[in-house]
Chain A
């Protein structure tokens, strides 16, 4: 442990640089995954055929071993190649499932009576989505984003294998050198990063939970 602290102190500049690379990859991937995943999740609640395609595809993506996915992407034109761009694409694909799932589950979880009331009052489909479904689904969607982020922080360590940088650089170096201290110099900051992201997003989740949300069950009870 003392070795690790010493190592990190001696390489503070490099550690900071790798951490920034790591965070950048994860943030970009999660943002792209939200931009793609939330509309897909919404689409899945609207059309039955989409539901199967979207949920099936994102499930399958999740089962591909991450090292293999990074490898598969290298020869793909435009998005592939060696470097951070390929890594971000791979991370995005992994981040999709929890976000699509969360969006789908969140919107499906809105009580039918509430949806029906919205339509009955003359909301258009878009108004129902923006004013009712998304606000009520927001905590569930955000918990999907949270899971996606934590997973991405972990998987991003493997991105170093295709030259994308990040804290994985130390892990691979340490493995090659058979040096535990160097491995830990990558692994420990990465773990701390995951915990921090989880805590911050958890905080945000509680903040955006609509006031009446926690007690939605109460509404079902005949008074």
Chain B
């Protein structure tokens, strides 16, 4: 349960768990608290009731800094550091963790290769010299830098054009399959949710209305889910 300052309560009775190797995508309207869910996991926010556990330990018992360094975080507006190069952004968490220079350089090259941005070409560029899609890839690489077991993704592909978005979704799915990490992904795009989620949940003001595999999600009888899936049919036909 989380109370927002104006007194409204979000997620009274929300219960959700993510297995170590699955991607759970939560879909919901704007303002329903999708970002809040993620921030409760890396303790940018703390619950006012109930508990959030990461690796079996309550977030309130975790040292927030240690917790966040073990949790990859990719946010809406990317949040790349504009004064650091691509390599500097990706190598940041390893640097905070006190890795040796050589190991950071190696890891940075490896990650940039993983997201399709060879370090020789992109490592020394600054974020403003990249396209939106490239920036998002850097954001993903940065989140993966210290090999965290858990990834939190807050509409990471929201601001991209449909083609780039499609490419990145496909790459992301492939990446998750290969890396076998837990990921909690939020989006307002049901199509994206169905494409990426091992399980898909519908988040509403009342809590989690439904959570199921993509196949079961589209056939759910829950009225809100049906309404959402209905919009999908419309856009496909129209």
By a beta-carbon cutoff of 8 Å, the part of chain A in contact with chain B is: 111, 113-114, 116-124, 127, 131-132, 135-136, 210-213, 215-216, 218-220, 222-223
- Per the 8 Å Cβ criterion, residues 147-163 of B in contact with A are 152, 159-161
User: What is the size category of the interface that chain B forms with chain A?
Assistant: 35 or more
Contact of A213 among B82, B152, B164 (CB under 8 A): B82
Most A-side CB within 10 Å, residue of B82, B92, B164: B82
B73 touches A121 (CB 8 A): yes
A135 touches B161 (CB 8 A): no
A216 touches B96 (CB 8 A): no
Complex CA gap A220/B69 in Å reads 26
B81 touches A132 (CB 8 A): yes
Complex CA gap A120/B152 in Å reads 10
Contact of B93 among A113, A121, A124, A212 (CB under 8 A): A121
Contact of B83 among A116, A122, A211, A222 (CB under 8 A): A211
Chain A nearest CB, measured from B92 CB (Å)? 6
Q: Does B49 contact A (CB under 8 A)?
A: no
- State the main secondary structure of chain B at its contact with A: mixed
Contact of A219 among B71, B82, B133, B142 (CB under 8 A): B82
Provide the residues of chain B in CB contact with A123, threshold 8 Å. Answer: 65, 96
Provide the residues of chain B in CB contact with A117, threshold 8 Å. Answer: 73, 75, 78-81
Provide the residues of chain A in CB contact with B44, threshold 8 Å. Answer: 116, 119-120
Chain B nearest CB, measured from A219 CB (Å)? 6
Provide the residues of chain A in CB contact with B42, threshold 8 Å. Answer: 120
A219 touches B66 (CB 8 A): no
Q: List the A residue with the shortest CB-CB distance to B143.
A: A121
4 extra interface residue pairs, beta carbon distance < 8 Å, beyond A113-B79, A121-B92, A223-B164: A116-B44, A119-B44, A122-B67, A212-B128
Provide the residues of chain B in CB contact with A127, threshold 8 Å. Answer: 96
A/B interface sample: 24 pairs, CB < 8 A: A114-B79, A116-B44, A117-B73, A117-B81, A118-B79, A121-B68, A121-B93, A121-B142, A122-B68, A122-B69, A127-B96, A136-B82, A210-B82, A211-B126, A212-B83, A212-B84, A212-B128, A213-B83, A216-B128, A219-B78, A219-B128, A219-B135, A223-B160, A223-B164
